[in-house]
Structure 1
Amino acid sequence: MTDAEQPAAEPSLVAGAHDRRGVFEVGERIQLTDPKGRLHTITLEPGREFHTHRGFLRHDDLIGSHDGSVVTNTAGVEYLALRPLLSDYVMSMPRGAAVVYPKDSGQIVQMADIFPGATVVEAGVGSGALSMSLLRAIGEHGRLLSFERREDFADIARGNGRAFFGGDHPAWTVTVGDLVESLPAVAPPGTVDRVVLDMLAPWECLEAVSEALIPGGVLICYVATTTQLSRVAEGIRAHGGFTEPSAWESLVRGWHLEGLAVRPQHRMHGHTGFLITTRRLAPGVVPPERKRRPAKGAYGDTADVGSTEQDGSGPASTGIDGGPVVVPGSTASTDIPADAWTPEALGERVKSDKTIRRVRRSLAETSDDIG
């Protein structure tokens, strides 16, 4: 039997494939676009209605319709009805913590080379936005081992994932606890292909991550500020078991398309976070010396640039004990106390406990309806 004659594989009933095709069914989330381009997301229920200040439309008029249909409300206003894409869903889903934007999730999946069947460790689940992109990339036969310190955030992430995929994804395990303490019990040394850290202080996890990663495995960190970026870069270099890190950010600017008025939009998705990647070296391998000299004073005004190399060609990034050079009284990120790295200190707007409880409760109710 040739490949062409092989019977088609049954679509997954757990990973959400059945919810991406066919007519609209009861319980599905549908995205309605009005004539002004405004988006409205509803969950289809028999007998219910979607009301605006300009009339209403019945859910029953949508149930059984095809994806991409147009429905008219009682005031004659037309709405385009589509299933939301993953990027649409993560921007409108209930949140506990801030979500990783689609532009960054796409970069993480591509630049970390997340492949089908991979074993991926994720720390800092938040609301589950990045988790869903990772699950899409690894498929049902991969493994996503997610770690979250806050149980309420973990519950919100599970609820969002369950609502999008239509059930619990078979490749996803969420552990409530600290990555450093919990990872050895979940992933034996040298068994993890990729690690994604979306947390305040990823440098604290470098030793645990290095033990879990396979040689050549990719570590990618998502951080919000330059102070975090500097600290994790120096931590990677000081560790000695990783390649030279690379860092970047992405900016997305939409365009206005209307007749001859083709121009950039006035608003854009600017800075959301920095990404920094590195790869695990083979056991016992020493990374090659850096030949590019840092700027004078990069490690403090009194640091002896080039003093770590006899010919003066190397960086002054390491001291006698192999750690980064610390200049007394400097404002380097390595001098900042560990307990100072808080969401508030980094400019994050933290939601109140009351708001988190409300989101968690609403998702629990949604999960009960799905079940």
Structure 2
Amino acid sequence: MKQQDPTAAAPHGADQRRGPFRAGERVQLTDERGRMNTITLTPGTAYHTHKGFLNHDLLIGSPEGCIVESNVGQQYQALRPLLSDFVLSMPRGAAVVYPKDAGQIITMGDIYPGARVVEAGVGSGALSISLLRAVGDDGYLHSFERRQEFADIARGNVETIFGGPHPAWKISLGDFQDEVVAQEAPGSIDRVVLDMLAPWECLDAVATVLAPGGVWINYVATVTQLSRTAEAIRADGRFTEPDAWESMVRGWHLEGLAVRPDHRMVAHTGFLMVTRRLADGVTGLNLKKKSKGEFSAEDLNAWTPEAVGEPAVSDRKLRRAARDASSTVQTKGTKSKGGEVPAAPEQGH
């Protein structure tokens, strides 16, 4: 068996997941009733509850998985948060891609180490984190976002979980369909991941930058978005027949012989659809499916965030989330060395 070189540099962020707890990192505390809280370790401070307090210094330097006691004997189990825990509790300005969907995107989109990937609709950076873990230090992820505030939140969250800027990540501001063809060479991208309102508007841009055989995966919220994207792909002819699905996760209650499904579950969050780029000059096979691609004028004019049920996010909330994400990075002493994200070009929404 090949021995690992102990002097070789660890993949980016790996050292954040190993060894004893350090000042500035996040720790998940679970009490004796199973309630969880996440704290950021700060020397000389304490975690306070209605059942006493727990000194952070008891955790700093202790091994992961230890049990510590508060001043009144309350016991806590201490572990580093998993990626799924971090995503659901991190500062956000937009709805995040749930872990169950991120896992499907990585696997069904065949995101592999070293892949060259572009994504659009960065939101709060949840999917960006999963994509960066998949492509690794030697891969490439170029994220496109229309709003400066979302880019700031995503940058803070990515740098928090990786302990600083990731060497494979680039983030740009602007409309995906315009910027990706200006910044990426034709046929140079292995995978395209779109989490946006109207992915069919990006069809030409995707076909331009995606290599033959490359995978395009879309994440959309509604049946109407799914339908229109599928019909646009079929009509274009440069892609394979699209496949679509959704995933639902139901937990189980485990206690002795009382083993049963939980009363609540994570049901519909979004639809996923995958298609692949055909070679230049090739037209996709006619799979003999009946297809009606007509949409009424009312349908075509209804694609706004409010019309499909997305809640409006105030500028104040975005600024607060960006400050929270940035402050977590600075607490760990890992402020970004790179340049700032350029100001977003003015555009209509």
Give me the TM-score of the superposition, normalised by structure 1. Answer: 0.87
User: In structure 2, how many angstroms separate the alpha carbons of the residues matched to 1:7 and 1:289?
Assistant: 52
CA contact (8 A) 1:125 1:131 kept: yes
Asked if 1:180 corresponds to 2:177, the answer is: yes
The correspondence for 1:354, drawn from 293, 305, 316, is: 316
CA contact (8 A) 2:163 2:329 kept: no
DSSP 3-state at the match of 2:2: helix
What percent identity do the matched residue pairs reach? 61
Cα shift readout 1:148-180 (whole Å, capped 9, x = no counterpart) = 001100000000000110000000001011111
Task: Identify the residue that residue 128 of structure 2 maps to in structure 1.
Answer: 131
What is the count of residue pairs matched by the alignment? Answer: 333
Aligned pairs for 1:162-241 within 5 A? 162-241=159-238
Q: How far has the Cα of 1:5 moved from its partner?
A: 5.2
Q: How far has the Cα of 1:363 moved from its partner?
A: 2.2
Q: How far has the Cα of 1:347 moved from its partner?
A: 1.3
CA contact (8 A) 2:250 2:265 kept: yes
The correspondence for 2:61, drawn from 50, 59, 64, is: 64
Asked if 1:7 corresponds to 2:11, the answer is: no
User: In structure 1, how many angstroms separate the alpha carbons of the residues matched to 2:177 and 2:132?
Assistant: 22
Q: How far has the Cα of 1:353 moved from its partner?
A: 1.6
The verdict on how the C-alpha distance between 1:341 and 1:46 changes in structure 2, with shifts beyond 3 A counting, is same
Counterpart amino acid of residue 12 in structure 1 = A
Task: Identify the residue that residue 109 of structure 2 maps to in structure 1.
Answer: 112
* Deviates further, 64-73 or 33-42: 33-42
The correspondence for 1:365, drawn from 327, 331, 334, is: 327
* RMSD of aligned alpha carbons: 1.5
User: In structure 2, how many angstroms separate the alpha carbons of the residues matched to 1:345 and 1:25?
Assistant: 46
Task: Identify the residue that residue 307 of structure 1 maps to in structure 2.
Answer: none
CA contact (8 A) 2:90 2:325 kept: no
Q: How far has the Cα of 1:225 moved from its partner?
A: 0.6
Unaligned regions of 5+ residues in structure 2, if any?
336-349
Q: How far has the Cα of 1:142 moved from its partner?
A: 0.3
Cα shift readout 1:334-359 (whole Å, capped 9, x = no counterpart) = 86235x32222111223322111111
* Deviates further, 360-369 or 76-85: 360-369
Task: Identify the residue that residue 302 of structure 1 maps to in structure 2.
Answer: none
The verdict on how the C-alpha distance between 1:56 and 1:173 changes in structure 2, with shifts beyond 3 A counting, is same
The verdict on how the C-alpha distance between 1:5 and 1:74 changes in structure 2, with shifts beyond 3 A counting, is closer
Counterpart amino acid of residue 7 in structure 1 = D
DSSP 3-state at the match of 1:336: helix
User: In structure 2, how many angstroms separate the alpha carbons of the residues matched to 1:237 and 1:55?
Assistant: 62
User: In structure 2, how many angstroms separate the alpha carbons of the residues matched to 1:6 and 1:94?
Assistant: 37
Aligned pairs for 1:1-371 within 5 A? 4=2, 7-8=5-6, 10-12=8-10, 15-292=12-289, 294=290, 315=291, 317=292, 324=293, 326=294, 332=295, 336-338=299-301, 340-369=302-331, 370=333, 371=335
Higher relative contact order (CA 8 A, sep 6+): 2
DSSP 3-state at the match of 1:185: helix
Q: How far has the Cα of 1:10 moved from its partner?
A: 2.7
User: In structure 2, how many angstroms separate the alpha carbons of the residues matched to 1:233 and 1:5?
Assistant: 48
User: In structure 2, how many angstroms separate the alpha carbons of the residues matched to 1:363 and 1:170?
Assistant: 19
Cα shift readout 1:179-205 (whole Å, capped 9, x = no counterpart) = 111112221000000000000111100
CA contact (8 A) 1:219 1:279 kept: yes
Give me the TM-score of the superposition, normalised by structure 2. Answer: 0.92
The verdict on how the C-alpha distance between 1:367 and 1:335 changes in structure 2, with shifts beyond 3 A counting, is same
